[in-house]
Structure 1
Amino acid sequence: MGFGTILKNGTKTISAVENAISSGYRLIDSAEAYGNEVDVGDGIQRGVIENRLDRSDIFVTSKVWNDHHGYRKTIQAFETSLAKLRVGYLDLYLIHWPANKKWHKDWRELNDSTWLALEDLYRAGEVRAIGVSNFSKEQLAALIEDNDIKPMVNQLEYHPGFAQKEAAKYSQDNDVLVEAWRPFGGPDSGILNNPVITQLADKYGCSPSQVVLRWLLQQKILPLARSSNPEHMLDNLDIFDFELDRDDMLQISTLPSDDGTHFDPETYHS
């Protein structure tokens, strides 16, 4: 289970990350685009000290943003993120969004030049693992075909009502771990109030969020849950003592599109 850090800047982010580590989270997912890497770094430092942990106990992710695509800009963006986070090295570095056909005639070459920077950072030991975020099946296939090192992670928006099944299946078939951002949908999605989800929560004696997170885990997808509420943090971690049966998994997987905002890797302005 990972902890997402799309949070407000300042003391709220610092406290949330510190509380997440104290609650038991060890994967902290950050990004240049969130604009709060300094605060996330402060929260990590406090959490490590408070819980008497080593740096190696925490798995830290960051991502290069769209206006830093290309080899040189990506290297510079990585160095800036590392300086802000102050964690010595990154466990995982991702291309946040792919260049796509709609906005870039040279989308494939641009993704390759960005990926080459990640490969060099990986070979140099600056990053322990490298991957992508929001890559469609076609975009990921092109990257794998063109380069020496295959992405180790593809982080996708993936939740009931918007499951990017084709991209996820292709990733898993190629031994690329799928992580799910926005596992509960956007602020207007209503997933956690969906009657199917609430009825299953009653059936299993758990919360709606636990149902959704368990649904992801049973698909071998790693969820990135986000909360500033310590009780919700603990609740989201408490999902390893039950299992959804096959029919209930299917019910969730076939829910109609939710009312949230969905981001398409083939059209998103990157």
Structure 2
Amino acid sequence: MTTIPTFKLNDGNEIPSFGFGTFQIPADGSTYDAVANALKLGYRHIDTAAAYFNEQEVGKAIKDSGIPRDQIWVTSKLWLQDYAYADAKKAIDTSLEKLGLDYMDLYLLHQPYGKVDEAWRALEEAQKAGKIRSIGVSNMTPKLWKKFVPSFDVMPAVNQVEFNPYFQQKELRQVLADAHVALEAWAPLGEGNKDLFAEPILNAIAKKYGKDVGQVILRFEHQEGVIVFPKSVHESRIKSNAEIFDFELTSDEMDAIRNLDHGKGQHDPDTPGVGDMLLNAFDIHAND
């Protein structure tokens, strides 16, 4: 794999602009294998979360890779049920312990509900203590951003949200640009949306460059300055997803893909009751 370009965050840290996601990969050895493969293929940015239940396998794959720790960017996330200040402090240590790491490169508030201020204070303190290098948020819409972020002492370095050609987060990107906050995409390939993959313009561009539609989408997002980490358990797909640095889309092609925006996604964090629904979705301490 070519050397992956980095983007500079507002705290001065350099994040690999392309990485590997582990959402919904089970902790039955599958996560270990997928992360080990990704690292072997040149990935140096791994995204996990307490609520993915696979931090331990991510950590083991990193350790077994033999790659120096400072060459791998590791992200994890705090789950909603641990947002009370004391719980958040403990959860940060639990994530470090499960990952087998002395520090995490990035730690996010996974969902913007409940005791967000207390949780954020715990992240700010952990950053000062050297347990976390960069801190950020996830699933914050412009409305939720304006509700919480003005009271934070430290500006988030990133906001990880749903993003793909059908949902390009135009209003949010303006808010983030004003604050020099990077956008990270979850579902960068629209979770395999068949309509998206059938779009004539994407297929025409793919044909022109000898690429597949997924690679064109990821290249578009990269050129938009969005950090992406597609997920796959298939070695061939893990490899091909990363093959986006040997071609460049023209400004006309970028504009054509921008025109695919529907302005809304599959998940709306502003929906009333979504916080409670997520909080009750599962118990991350069930096996403690």
- TM-score scaled to structure 2, two decimals? 0.83
- 1:11 aligned partner: 29
Counterpart-to-counterpart distance in 1, 2:200 and 2:92: 43
Counterpart-to-counterpart distance in 2, 1:70 and 1:189: 40
Counterpart mapping for 1:37-48 below 5 A: 37-47=55-65
Alignment gaps of 5+ in structure 2: 1-17, 279-288
Give 1:211's aligned amino acid: V
The DSSP-based 3-state class of the residue aligned with 2:132 is coil
Q: Structure 1 residues 261 and 39 mapped into 2: Cα distance closer, same or farther (>3 Å)? A: farther
Alignment gaps of 5+ in structure 1: 100-106
Q: Structure 1 residues 202 and 188 mapped into 2: Cα distance closer, same or farther (>3 Å)? A: closer
Aligned-residue Cα RMSD (Å) equals 1.9
- TM-score scaled to structure 1, two decimals? 0.89
Indicate the percent of aligned positions where both proteins have the same amino acid: 39
Q: Does the alignment pair 1:98 with 2:112?
A: yes
- 1:163 aligned partner: 168
Contact 1:92 1:128 in 2 (8 A): yes
Kindly state the Cα deviation for residue 244 of structure 1 after the two structures are TM-superposed: 1.2
Q: Does the alignment pair 1:175 with 2:192?
A: no
- 1:104 aligned partner: none
Counterpart mapping for 1:228-247 below 5 A: 228-247=233-252
Kindly state the Cα deviation for residue 74 of structure 1 after the two structures are TM-superposed: 1.2
Partner residue of 1:227 out of 232, 245, 248: 232
Q: Structure 1 residues 34 and 91 mapped into 2: Cα distance closer, same or farther (>3 Å)? A: same
Counterpart-to-counterpart distance in 2, 1:188 and 1:68: 33
Kindly state the Cα deviation for residue 261 of structure 1 after the two structures are TM-superposed: 6.8
Q: Does the alignment pair 1:140 with 2:158?
A: no
Superposed CA deviations along residues 85-112 of structure 1, whole A, max 9, x for unmatched, are 112211110000101xxxxxxx5xx221
Partner residue of 2:49 out of 18, 31, 34: 31
Q: Does the alignment pair 1:80 with 2:80?
A: no
The DSSP-based 3-state class of the residue aligned with 2:239 is helix
- 2:286 aligned partner: none
Contact 2:166 2:265 in 1 (8 A): no
Kindly state the Cα deviation for residue 12 of structure 1 after the two structures are TM-superposed: 1.4
Q: Does the alignment pair 1:114 with 2:119?
A: yes
Q: Structure 1 residues 198 and 63 mapped into 2: Cα distance closer, same or farther (>3 Å)? A: same
Counterpart-to-counterpart distance in 2, 1:188 and 1:214: 17
Superposed CA deviations along residues 12-70 of structure 1, whole A, max 9, x for unmatched, are 110100010111111100001111111111221222x2xxx211111110001112222
Counterpart-to-counterpart distance in 2, 1:234 and 1:32: 26
Residues paired across the two proteins, number: 256
Partner residue of 2:128 out of 123, 126, 133: 123
